[in-house]
Structure 1
Amino acid sequence: MANGSRQAVWEFFGAELKRRREDAGITQVELGLRVFVSGGYIGQFEQAIRKPQLDVAQRIDEVLQTDGFFERLCRKLIDDRRYADYFAGVVELERTATKIGEFAPTVVPGLLQTAEYARAITVAANPFVTDDYVEEKVTGRMERARILTDATRPEYWVILHESALRVPVGGPGAMADQLEHIARLMRERTAVVTVLPYTAGAHPSMGGMLQLMEFDDAPPVAYTETSFSGMVVDDPAVVKRAQRAYDLLRVAALSPSASLALVESAAEDYRRCTHTT
């Protein structure tokens, strides 16, 4: 489903939510209380500013007695085989974010990946799948990264742990290409990328990756991910803790100029390996 048509369906979702809520004689605040979100969130759902999670859509169906209508529509909108079930909603959030901050402890984040790197990661995690499956995942990754070149692109801040530079995903040639791609985005000021060096030692978020997203007309959210699952968090107190952890990571990271030098040096090391093998 193209981005434009997807947004149109979200707008239909919001219009239907408003119509059915008003038909039931329930205010936004009352519905929010009954589905465990704020009344303001209900208003944002109705205006298609914010997209509800699947469990919220299910509770809306229960309260409004709509026989699974909103759950089915929500599933249709987030059903994209190119992404894991738990990640499809994050892709939707990225498309409307004005600022994205990301910490990647072991793997280059998807928005920065080259096709070859993404292919190697996909095959490593799914050694028995078909080539068509792999290419579908890679295509989704590349299309997702287009938000960095859109006219309305978000500010994109990334902290890479040095581990992400040192593991030769796809071999030396693929890693040289990957790091040169990151360096190019840094020089073009498409992304602000800093590196957390090994010498920084212990750090917050040692359990997995962390992503923070900000929006023009909605509260910020955090997304955390481990190897096999991910979770979007919008509880203000938890998001605030995640933001503090990210701030601590930024303090411990190298400066942008020192980070660029390290990324370019690692790329050169990998490139030399390709010339000697």
Structure 2
Amino acid sequence: MTDSTISTETVSNEPEPSDSLKAFGEAHKAFRKRAGHTQEDYAPLIGYQPSTVASIEQGRRFPQRRFVERAEEILDAFGVLKGVYKHATREKGLASWFRQWAELEELAISLYTFENRLVPGLLQTEGYARTLFRERIPVISDSEIEARVVARMERQFLLTERPNTIFSFIVEEHVLRRQTGGAEAMREQIEHILEATEPRNVEIQVMPMSRGVHAGHAGPIQLLETPENEWFAYCEAQESGRFVTDPKAISLLHMRYAKLRSQALNPEDSRSLLERMRGAL
């Protein structure tokens, strides 16, 4: 891949500001109350869980465009919510270079992830995520750790609220054998992966350590497909992320991911291995 095929945002070590999301949340709450709705009775009308409505109103979750459009219609908001939404920035806790990918991730109909460094964010427990943030260099404050843990946990709504999206995860076995946070924390992490990948649309494959060479040695891969059947890719490195739009580059990553799928254990054998690993901890 060359620089001409990849658009890269400058990394920022600071969490994104959340003032604009709080402003959107307050405006939304005011219109909801004006319409006489509680979060509980409003949620099914807009097609989201009450917890999602609460998170958006608290400024902790970036609202999807269809949420905003639906809210305008239900609450008769005079275009105010759409206006505030135009100035909304990604929630506190997500790095700026991840923002573009995260927005597409919420709309994806297919999402493929290969990881050879750590458990993918969508599958991490709170304890695992907290350990990673506590040990990062440079050291960040306790408040920043909390913000980033919250942001990471909030993203996991994708696995429960998008049952028609296909999620494929391929993870190196050594990642799962590393006792990040200790044996008990890792047992909890493996249990969480087994539970999160029970739905038919969520699949986990383990790349065994016995596989000496495979197609993923160049690093992690993330691919997603939009509702318009466009494909994008995201590659993460030290303190940076690359958002890939070039069809040739994406085709190459697709070929690598397809090869990884054939080289990893199948989903059934992967789950059996995870269950044995859990039992050994």
> What TM-score do you get using the length of structure 1 for normalisation?
0.69
Structure 1 CA distance, aligned partners of 2:194 and 2:66?
37
SS in 2 for 1:200: coil
Write out aligned runs for 1:181-220 (5 A).
181-189=192-200, 191-220=202-231
Structure-to-structure mapping, 1:254-269, within 5 angstroms: 254-269=265-280
Letter in 2 for 1:225: E
Q: After TM superposition, give the deviation of residue 202 of structure 1 in Å.
A: 1.7
- Cα pair 1:111 1:144 within 8 Å, conserved: yes
SS where residue 198 of structure 1 aligns? coil
Which digits, 9 at most, give the CA deviation of each residue in 1:9-56, with x for residues without a partner? 998xxxxxxxxxxxxxxxxxxxxxxxxxxxxxxxxxxxxxxxxxxxxx
Q: State the one-letter code of the partner of 2:250.
A: V
Q: What is the percentage of aligned positions where both structures have the same residue?
A: 32
Match of 1:248 in 2: 259
> How far is the alpha carbon of 1:4 from its aligned partner?
7.3
Shift of 1:204: 2.1
Structure 1 residue 226 and structure 2 residue 221: aligned? no
Question: Given the superposition, is the C-alpha separation of residues 236 and 193 from structure 1 closer, same or farther in structure 2, using an over 3 Å criterion?
Answer: same
Aligned match of 2:35: none
Q: Which residue of 1 aligns with 2:65?
A: 7
Cα distance, 1:4–1:174 mapped onto 2, change above 3 Å? closer
Bigger radius of gyration, 1 or 2? 1
Contact 1:118 1:138 in 2 (8 A): yes
Q: Could you say which residue in structure 2 is the equivalent of 1:85?
A: 96
Mapping 1:91-102, distance limit 5 Å: 91-102=102-113
Rate the CA distance shift 1:249–1:78 in 2: closer, same or farther, 3 A: farther
Distance 1:164 1:139 in 2: 23
> What stretches of structure 1 move > 6 A for 4+ residues in a row?
8-11
CA distance in 1, matches of 2:201, 2:67: 30
Map of 1:65-80 to 2, 5 A cutoff? Answer: 77-80=88-91
Contact 2:163 2:201 in 1 (8 A): no
Find the counterpart in structure 2 of residue 115 from structure 1. Answer: 126
TM-score, structure 2 length as denominator?
Answer: 0.68
Structure 1 gaps, min length 5: 12-72, 271-277
- The answer to whether the 8 A contact 1:103-1:158 is kept is yes
Matched residue, 1:162: 173
**How many Å separate the matches in 2 of 1:260 and 1:266?**
10
Per the alignment, residue 124 of structure 1 pairs with 135
The one of 187, 190, 194 aligned to 1:179: 190
Aligned residue runs from structure 1 range 131-170, under 5 A:
131-151=142-162, 153-170=164-181
In 2, Cα distance between equivalents of 1:236 and 1:161: 27
Number of positions where the alignment pairs a residue of Structure 1 with one of Structure 2: 209
Runs of 5+ in structure 2 lacking a partner? Answer: 1-20, 22-55, 70-84
SS at match of 1:128: coil
Q: Is the 8 A contact 1:179 1:263 kept in 2?
A: yes
Structure number with higher relative contact order (C-alpha < 8 Å, ≥ 6 residues apart): 2
Shift of 1:162: 0.7
Q: Aligned-residue CA RMSD in angstroms? A: 2.4
Instruction: Tell me the CA shift for residue 86 of structure 1.
Output: 1.2
Relative to 1, partners in 2 of residues 1:190 and 1:171: Cα closer, same or farther, differing over 3 Å?
farther
- Tell me, in whole angstroms, the C-alpha distance in 1 between the residues paired with 2:120 and 2:166: 15
CA distance in 2, matches of 1:228, 1:127: 11
Higher helix share: 1
